[in-house]
Each structure stands twice: as C-alpha cells, then as structure tokens.
Structure 1
Amino acid sequence: DNWMHLSHLLNAATHGHIHETIGGAWDNIYPEFLNGTVSPAVYTFAHSIQPLARILWRNDLLECPDSCDMTTDPKDCMCTCSEEKMAGRASYEILDSSGILESVEYFDHDGHLLDSFYNESTGKIEYSLPHYTHEESMDIYDGLLKLCCAPGKIGDQYDSNSPNDVTFWMLHPTMERIWHYMRMAPVVYNETWDPYHTCYGHNPDDLQPFRNLFDDNNEYYSNSDLYSLLHPQNEDLPYIYDNFEWPHCELLGYDMSATYRR
C-alpha cells in the first residue's frame, strides 16, 4: 500500500533475483557458507558480493584465470584471493584498506540498520561493531572477506547486458503493469519517496541519463520527474496496458479485483 514497500519488491524479489537465478550469478559458496541453508536475505547479500569482489580485484587481491577450456574442472576456473598478496593481514585490515568496509551497511541482531558504525576519532569503521562483541565483529569481517574471495561467476544478466536476454522484456513490463495497477486502485496508496539510499541514482532528486522524452527542454530528468511523467493517468504517456488481469494469481487464491479511478 505504499511506494517504498513496492519499490523494494520490484527491485529485488520480482526482478533482480530472477535475473540472477536465470543467468546472473552462480557457482558461489553461499549455501556452503551457511551449512546448506539459504534464506531470502542470502540472495540480497549475493547481489552485493559481486561488486564488492570487484573492489578486491581492482586492489590486485582477487585473481581470476584468463581463460578456461571445456576440460577444466569448474573448481579450478574460479576467482580466488591471493594468499601471498594478503600477506597474513587480518580481514578487517584488508577490507578497510580496499574500501569494502565503507561500501556495505551493517545491521544489529534483530536486522535493524545501525545508525552509526564509524569511529569519530579515526573516521573509520568501528573495529568492534555496535551491539556486537569483538569476537562477533571479527567473525563478520572474516565471513565477508571469505565470501568476497569466492564470488563465483557473473553472467550477462547480472549487469547492463541483461536487456540482451528475452526475459528482461517480460519482467519489466510485468512489473510496470503491477505498478500502474497500484497507482490507479481506489485504496490509499502512499507515494512518498524516502531519500534514504546511499547509492546515487536511487533517490527522488537524483538525475537519470534521460531527456527530451516528454518535452524539448534538453534537461535530464530526476527520478521524481520520471515518477510523475510515467503515471498511468498522464495523458501524454504514449501507451496503456489493455488489462489488469492476473488469472494465474487468482488460481493461487489471490484476490486481484479492484475498481479503478477514472
């Protein structure tokens, strides 16, 4: 019943995770790392590990084979961290010096985002995280480094190459049709956009590389501009969905009926 909740679902469970499952990332150690169990949170974390592993690669700590032929054992065709280059340093030191520690968010035992995890005197991430013991903090850093050192493989559907796959063109209009459905339903729909994100491009006032789609101003649109322009009741929107019916959802017991505003 609100945009913030819907946007999280659109970005993850109904979108990014499907790309990853089909051909975005595989051969990782997450199930092994969690003793064979895989929770929904793991997929979110897996989505973050790939770019974090690239940071290690840029710091010349993660090494990947130049090529592998069809006879190579998959286990021998993986990116791994160089023990020699890490030189026995502690996980915290490696993650801090490479810039990974400042690139992730931290949560308490109940899953709540920590408001502050910087040491004001040093300007660095706390050696011992708030609400965690020293040993627990070290376990977190050790686990993070272990996962970053075994990112598995990245497929075309992980990044900007995903439009090359046919499923891209099935997922995106499906999500937008649901979005239109929510915005036109007579129920109360809170469209507040909380500018909480630390990554540029995700907040309402962040600019996107699009212009002159609905005008000739030659100015880039912000997310909030596009949010308004793509409203299903915008008369200048050059398309409309022919129906808002989901018979497959109704077969599963979901009530998808609604009366729309005109």
Structure 2
Amino acid sequence: MELQIKEKNEYQYVDEGRGEVLLLLHGLFGALSNWQEVVAHFSPSYRVVIPLLPIYDMPLLKAGVPGLVSFVEDFLSEIGLTQPCTVLGNSLGGHIALVYALQNPARVTRLVLTGSSGLFEDGMGGSFPKRGNYGFVQERVAYTFYDPAVATKELVDEVFNVTNSNARCLRIISIARSAQRHNLAKDLHRVLVPTLLVWGLNDTITPPVVAHEFNRLMPASELRFLDHCGHAPMMERPQPFNQLLDDFLVRTTAAVRA
C-alpha cells in the first residue's frame, strides 16, 4: 500500500486505521516508508501512527535524543493523541521510544524494539557520513542489511541526497553522538511494560550481543531473532516480523487491559 502522508502545522505523519494505537518511530537514516509493510498488515485492526522525525532540519542545539523525545511528545499533543499506546522503534527510533517510555510511563502500554540503540551501536559502520562520496554511502547503506540487494538505488540515492548537505550532516553527527552519550543501561530496569525485542541475527550495527543485554536488563522483555536479517527486520523480513508482532500483541492484550 502507498502511505498517505498528512500534514498539520510543521508535522508530517502517517495516521492509518482505527483502534488501539501503534506508534512507530524510524531511525537516523530512516523514513516513513521503512514501516510500509507494518502499516499494511496492522492498519485494518489498529490505528498506526508514524511521525516523520525532524532529524535533518531540527535546530542544531536540539539535535539529539532529548530533542527528538520532546518532538514526539509535542507531536502527540498536536494531533490530540492522549490515550496510552504501544510504541515501536527501529535503531535510533528504539532509543527514542525507550526514553519516551521512561519519561511517560503511564502513556506506554507495550514496547517493541528492533535494532535499537541505547546500549551500543556501530552507526554507519564506525564512521560518519562523507559528503559527496556516493560509493561510501552505497557501501554503508548495504551494511545495514544482510542482503545487500535490499539497499536499492532509490534507497541509496535518498541517503546520498541527505548526506550531501553540510547542514544535514552536522545534525546527523550531533544526533549520533547524542545517542552514544545517552546510554540507558542503568535505567532499563525501570521499564516494566511488556517488551518485544526483534533482532536480526546478522545485525552488524547493533549485534545480537546487544539484544541479549537489552533482554537481560529489561525485566518484562522477550527476545526473538530472525535469521538472514540485518539491522531493519521490518524491512528485510517483513512477514516474520509482522507475525512475531501480531502474536505478541494478542498474547499481551489481557495484561495491558488489566
């Protein structure tokens, strides 16, 4: 399905379906389209909301994890979404979801993290984006996936256009460094909502050992791995990802309502 992007004041977002809310948060080089298969699968039964995070144009002094969490809070207020919801995050989006849950425990019923930062991440393969170097960007985007073919020319072009701007690169670097500084190891024991960790077994950015550490530190978490899968399972293995998510949502419904 083609995502219909809505606009309200400075916010761009997807808002599809009705019912219990699934709030989806993309990563540092992510986009609304990263969650396309999730929207298609769940919007008949859930209300799926995805804000476009202002990673490339937010004020430089606010370009970091706290600034993005504030953006999510303001966005939800702007669209009048006040009920508690299930929050899903990939990569940096998982980090934002965790901080949001820690700051707003009454507004989060469940968490789903996939390739989340917050403990350790090897962003861009250990180096920051090089302006104007298409080959470098192509290599780094492919590094995200188990199957390099998932890194289509369209996706590489999108990232290249982003990193070909000095202003945008500054924000990317600022946010990446903020994510590295904001380690959540000492806080994760306070996240008590049911949490599903879905990890690519071949993730080289947040390797499987990171998933095991999240699972160890989060008392209400469960961990599932997908083989032949890298850092973005909802893109690379959408069907098994959606099945794991579906099962988790059904199994935890009673606990959430209680």
Shorter-chain TM-score range: under 0.3
TM-score, structure 1 length as denominator?
Answer: 0.27
Larger relative helix fraction? 2
TM-score, structure 2 length as denominator?
Answer: 0.28
Which structure has the greater CA radius of gyration? 1
Larger relative strand fraction? 2
